[in-house]
Copies of this chain bind each other. A is one copy, B any other.
């Protein structure tokens, strides 16, 4: 078959309709700052780190083992380990598009060779099933993850097609997709995968190839699910969203990553098929989830047991799950909804999630990661061994690798492609959704050139300057998102110097811009007290502090020796100030409750001694960077 990529601008998501048009990695470049630093670390360290671990733990050898007929005996890793190789390849493809990275290009080429040879003639490709000594193909749709692995293979293939990276993997992905359509089509296997992702992958392959069957198959998977087509499991069918049809659910539920990948695929299907009811259903579920099932950080998924959304308002800060991959999935979903609707709320949640979950996971050196992102850590853990895999759910330390290592690879592909999630265009202008030092260059309707350079010290500083670098004589519109958190005090300075207060949503200037014109957004960066809905029982009597897009936290590292964050109380009537290092200071106390044989009594807590103290608050994303610590986001108020 002949594949005609839609374009080579390097866009992960390319809806054929929608309110806003995404820009690709060749149209938006991050040039420095908070996110530029993280992209550099990702390129210089994480990609190689992940690849070397995947070699070390045998996940790459599994493909060779298939070719050599020894996979039934030699296979290592969990049943879904193929998918992590594919996620990493996707990340490397975006990195090649971003920087021409030679290590990434060479790695893709090398991996492609071994993966290509492991594909069966009919397109089947999986190292955990279907070979001597293994289970039959598709004998365990609940847990086998075969379609999930195809999903990530296809996403990698799409990334390769859209970045113009040569090699056989795109064809491998297309053959796998064709195999899926043949096997799971209307008259085939009536199942779905226990872990969604193939839905959005197939839609994107449709978008890049124009082959309608991929879209039809994705739509079929979305509509099949929710009718009990999978077997019941201990966690219940809700775990993999097979308990209620996608369009009938009230809110996202079950396993958080599964729910958010499924919703992303449903949006893709809805947009391409004109299924406005389905799109509205996902918007409604998103709104309910954000209002009742989301952490202050944007983190999703409260439960450790099944990595799942809890009931409404069950959002315990200690033992929060808030999986890194759920944050990645949430940003992917928000992006799709933003493109479809143009509603700034979706970009608001993406910002919150990027700064407070996705930026929290990796260590500064890009070689260890939080799999879960708790909001309250009570016990100081040890430093993790750097030479072994770790349990994923330990939340006190960043670890180099996990037996389930989706998060490091999901981060890699997110950071490499991050520029594609910052700015959109429509016929008449540009919309800046996320602030970063960046250069933007694209064409508006009629081929009119439009380019800007974005300069900001965000998130430390609240000034964002958009300088026009390319323009044309006719007026066009430059828009910039004003976050909901900046409702009180945001101002926009137009190129002519006029200053006006702006509220949440988009602030725009329409003008016949000249090169050098500057639009300046000034966001209020004073720290803010935040309280929680009283129905979130776990947060009663506490407050949090935010500054700009950042959630702050108290960390034991900043307390007197031997004192712990459980001793912290803050005085919400005293002003928040800032110290010389830019950290926020709250007035409050350190308490020492008395110890008792039984912790429940009429006067429990009455004997707690409190000594006045200044409580230093640092960005949550930086916690545990100075060594193991205890930490809390939600701070009890002075009694």
Contacts and interface: CB of A to CB of B under 8 A. Distances in A.
Interface in A205-237: 234-236
Given A379-B311, A391-B235, A605-B531, A599 B292 contact: yes
Given A235-B391, A484-B598, A534-B593, 20 more contacts: A234-B392, A236-B391, A236-B394, A291-B599, A292-B599, A303-B304, A304-B304, A304-B305, A314-B318, A318-B538, A345-B597, A376-B537, A530-B604, A531-B603, A532-B604, A533-B599, A533-B605, A538-B538, A540-B540, A540-B542
Interface string A287-323: 1001110101000000111000011111011110000
A529 B598 contact: no
A311 B304 CA distance: 14
Given A540-B540, A541-B541, A542-B540, A313 B378 contact: yes
A544 interface: yes
Contact of A566 (B535, B634, B636): B535
3 closest pairs, A vs B, by CB?
A533-B599, A540-B541, A304-B305
Interface in A368-418: 376, 378-379, 391-394, 403
Contacts of A294: 599
Stoichiometry, copies per complex: 2
Contacts of A537: 317-318, 376, 538, 542, 566, 634, 636
A291 B598 contact: yes
Contacts of A310: 318-319
A277 interface: no
Contacts of A583: none
A294 B597 CA distance: 11
A173 to B, nearest CB: 31
Contacts of A280: none
18 contacts: A236-B391, A290-B598, A291-B595, A292-B599, A294-B599, A304-B304, A311-B379, A313-B566, A314-B319, A316-B538, A318-B538, A530-B601, A531-B604, A532-B600, A532-B604, A533-B599, A534-B636, A538-B538
A35 B541 CA distance: 40
Nearest to A233: B391
Nearest to A529: B602
Secondary structure at the A interface, as helix, strand, loop or mixed, is: loop
A531 to B, nearest CB: 4
Nearest to A317: B537
B602 A533 contact: no
A44 interface: no
A311 B630 CA distance: 12
A596 B484 CA distance: 13
A597 B303 contact: no
Given A598-B484, A602-B528, A311 B378 contact: yes
A106 interface: no
A310 B566 CA distance: 15
A591 interface: yes
A532 B378 contact: no
Given A234-B403, A345-B597, A378-B311, A608 B534 contact: yes
A602 B526 CA distance: 13
A511 interface: no
Residue of A536, A596, A600 ringed by the most chain B CB atoms within 10 A: A600
Range for the number of chain A residues in contact with chain B: 35 or more
A531 B378 contact: no
A523 to B, nearest CB: 16
A310 B374 CA distance: 14
A213 B402 CA distance: 43
Contacts of A529: 602
Nearest to A391: B234
B305 A601 contact: no
A531 B601 contact: yes
A316 B313 contact: no
A401 B393 CA distance: 30
Interface in A496-555: 528-538, 540-542, 544
A410 to B, nearest CB: 20
A536 B394 CA distance: 21
A266 to B, nearest CB: 21
A184 to B, nearest CB: 28
Nearest to A531: B604
B544 A600 contact: yes
A266 B371 CA distance: 36
Contact of A597 (B291, B391, B536): B291
A294 B378 CA distance: 17
Contacts of A595: 291
A382 to B, nearest CB: 12
Interface string A600-626: 111111001000000000000000000
A505 to B, nearest CB: 13
